[in-house]
Structure 1
Amino acid sequence: MTSSTTPGGLARFNALEERTAHAALVEVCASAAWARGLLARRPYATPDALLAASDAVMAKLSAADLAEAMAGHPPIGRPEPGDPTSSREQRGMAGAPEELRARMLELNLAYQEKFGHVFLIRATGRTGEQMRDAVEERLGNAPEQEYEIVRAELTAINRIRLGRLLEEEEV
């Protein structure tokens, strides 16, 4: 597919100067290795090709790279002040009753104590109760199992965020 038939957002992304594209990708996922992996495969013929590349790079990230990616995510129920992305993604907790918010704080701390990192879930479209139920269930996982669940959740989050990146008027 030529750039003239490439969807506008993807054409803009493909044409970005490397430093600007890297900065945009690190906003999607805090892993520098993931961003480098996607940059190395540009240009993309279709949005699906970009998503497939994202999935492939995510599947090969090391434990350190995954830790770097997770560090870019605030705990569920406590989005970063002034960060519209985490606020939008965690909308399901925005109007949650105080009891649910307190329980999520307790569960987030227990999860972090057990696994050594923030509880990560694709929060987009989920209610506060669904996120609470997920963390309660996942607290019973073995670390190796949870590691792969986190990788899958990051993959899903990156797909959503890449879609939004391609929808933006300017990157």
Structure 2
Amino acid sequence: MPARQSAARHLGVLSGLVRFNAAPASVAENLLLDCCGSRRWAERVAAHRPYPTLDALLAAADEAGYDLSGADLDEALSRETSALPHPDAPPAARTALRAALAAYEAGFGHAFVISLDGVPAGERLDQVLAGIRSRLGNERDEERVVAADELRRLARTRLTRSIAAW
């Protein structure tokens, strides 16, 4: 990323963080709920404001994510929707993905979650398919641990983007 873009992104994050810290609790919680669907997680992260840096906010989000109860995780996963393929993906790939997502959801009772942060756009469909196929063999308890970890990673990415855009 060129220095000028990096500086502009940094300023966007700083101004977004200032607005997030100053926002009423209900506004901050709604932004957080868009990042992770657990109300308890959102309330906890919002309650610890102000955050001096984005890294401090992300650390608090991680900590709150590790402390999710089973019910909190269920709530967060219930608000997720499985990723659909890019509209330009070949029909066979879209069909394979839909079938894999349906098998996953039938087996585990919730949407498939995976963080694709850092994965190039052209490789995302393959990454999702590979992730589903590898995780379908997990035991239910093992998959909850994996899904919770992916949910934390997704929340970090979503939170970073939301703060930068705010």
TM-score where L is the length of structure 2: 0.84
Identity %: 35
1:60 aligns with one of 64, 67, 74? 67
Alignment gaps of 5+ in structure 2? 1-12
2:127 aligns with one of 130, 154, 165? 130
Deviation at 1:76, TM superposition (A): 1.9
Looking at structure 2, the residues matched to 19 and 161 of structure 1 have their Cα atoms a distance apart, in angstroms, of 18
> In the alignment, residue 83 of structure 2 is paired with which amino acid?
I
Match in the other structure for 1:150: 147
Match in the other structure for 2:26: 19
RMSD: 1.6
**Greater relative contact order (Cα 8 A, min sep 6): structure 1 or 2?**
2
Aligned length: 150
**Does the CA-based 8 Å contact 1:30-1:68 persist in structure 2?**
yes
Looking at structure 2, the residues matched to 148 and 25 of structure 1 have their Cα atoms a distance apart, in angstroms, of 21
**Does the CA-based 8 Å contact 1:76-1:104 persist in structure 2?**
no
Determine helix, strand or coil for the equivalent of 1:117: coil
2:94 aligns with one of 101, 110, 131? 101
Match in the other structure for 1:111: 104
Alignment gaps of 5+ in structure 1? 1-5, 78-91
TM-score where L is the length of structure 1: 0.82
> In the alignment, residue 97 of structure 1 is paired with which amino acid?
P
Match in the other structure for 2:17: 10
Match in the other structure for 1:87: none
Looking at structure 2, the residues matched to 142 and 40 of structure 1 have their Cα atoms a distance apart, in angstroms, of 35
Looking at structure 2, the residues matched to 98 and 70 of structure 1 have their Cα atoms a distance apart, in angstroms, of 28
> In the alignment, residue 164 of structure 2 is paired with which amino acid?
E
> In the alignment, residue 102 of structure 1 is paired with which amino acid?
T
**Does the CA-based 8 Å contact 1:111-1:135 persist in structure 2?**
yes
> In the alignment, residue 159 of structure 2 is paired with which amino acid?
L
Determine helix, strand or coil for the equivalent of 1:93: coil
1:120 aligns with one of 99, 113, 116? 113
Deviation at 1:100, TM superposition (A): 1.0
